[in-house]
Amino acid sequence: MTVTPGWYMALAAVLFVIGATGILVRRNALIMFMSIELMLNAVNLTFVAAGRQLGLIEGQLAVLFVVVVAAAEVTVGLAIIVAVFRRRATASVDELSGMKG
Amino acid sequence: MTETVVFAVFAIAAIAGGLVMVGARNPVYSAMGLLTTMFSMAVFYVLNDAHFVAAVQVIVYAGAVMTLFLFVIMLIGVDREDDRTERLPRQRPLALLLGLGLLALVLVAARAAWITGFGIFTGSPVNGTIENVADELFGTWMIPFQATVLLLTIAAVGTVALAQFGSRPPRVRSQNEGPQ
């Protein structure tokens, strides 16, 4: 048995769903952030596998761009979490109901 | 054959890491689970001839991003566990149900194209060396590359601005927003 692109895609789908479920289930803002990273990684895997299947190097370039955007996103997101923590002394998104009125 | 074995081992490691990340009570364990998944991803990239991307994965994700995560976890406090008291009843089972539904949907909807459609890898092999990646990146994709430079600058400036403006107003705590 050889590893077909389908196996990579299926694995990426499973990882993506784990990440999406983590966002739905967890309250901790940090772990929700890590779930987003997991979803981005799953998509990167599909890019690389599809690029190999199609014989294009653009799949790997897409991964590079996703990594750059993810790094920028993590920087800003963690800064927001730290800023919120300094005010509220919590990282739980349930506590952040200030705009509820 | 080698690829099959390596794929199986690291697929299990990646899924286990993801599950640990979602399920662990302590955020540090979550970070370790995500780290496992990131390294497994690097192995998959190597299996797919994406050598440079694998190196970037290890350096940027497993190195820089996870260090940043651990730094913030330590800053916020590792000894504090999540309170698992549920404010919205039925939300957690509903979320798990939605996750399973999403998985079923994705796998069923795309099964035809993935498992049976592609067959074995047929494309002409692309070797993702630094030279090949750079040729394409600094040739065809020069403008998007410059845009990412702009994006990183904006993110850095925004982070500094958040740190500055977040600390300026005096900390006034009203009664209902104290630490829980």
pLDDT in tens, B9-34: 999 999 999 999 998 888 899 999 99
| pLDDT at residue A20, rounded to an integer | 92
CB of A77 less than 8 A from some CB of B? no
Burial class (CB in 10 A: 0-12, 13-18, 19+), A42: buried
Architecture of domain A5-91: Orthogonal Bundle (1.10)
**Residue B62 shares a structural domain with residue B123:** no
Among chain A residues, CA nearest to B113 = A6
Residue B83 resides in a domain: no
CB A75 within 8 A of CB B71: no
| pLDDT at residue B155, rounded to an integer | 93
CB of A36 less than 8 A from some CB of B? no
**Residue B44 shares a structural domain with residue B99:** yes
Angle between helices A29-54 and A58-88 (to 10 degrees): 180
CB of A93 less than 8 A from some CB of B? no
Task: Please state the domain count of chain B.
Answer: 2
Residue B180 resides in a domain: no
Q: Comparing B19 with B2, which gets the higher pLDDT?
A: B19
Interface ipTM: 0.89
Domain of residue B127, residue span: 116-168
Interface with chain B: mutation pick from A61, A80, A96, highest number of B CBs within 10 Å = A61
| pLDDT at residue A90, rounded to an integer | 74
Residue B135 resides in a domain: yes
pLDDT in tens, A73-84: 999 999 988 888
Alpha-carbon gap, residue A48 to A46, rounded angstroms: 6
**Residue B110 shares a structural domain with residue B122:** no
**Residue B9 shares a structural domain with residue B19:** yes
Is the confidence at residue B118, as pLDDT, over 60? no
**Residue B8 shares a structural domain with residue B37:** yes
**Residue B108 shares a structural domain with residue B121:** no
Q: Name the nearest CA neighbour of A21 among B88, B9, B171, B22.
A: B22
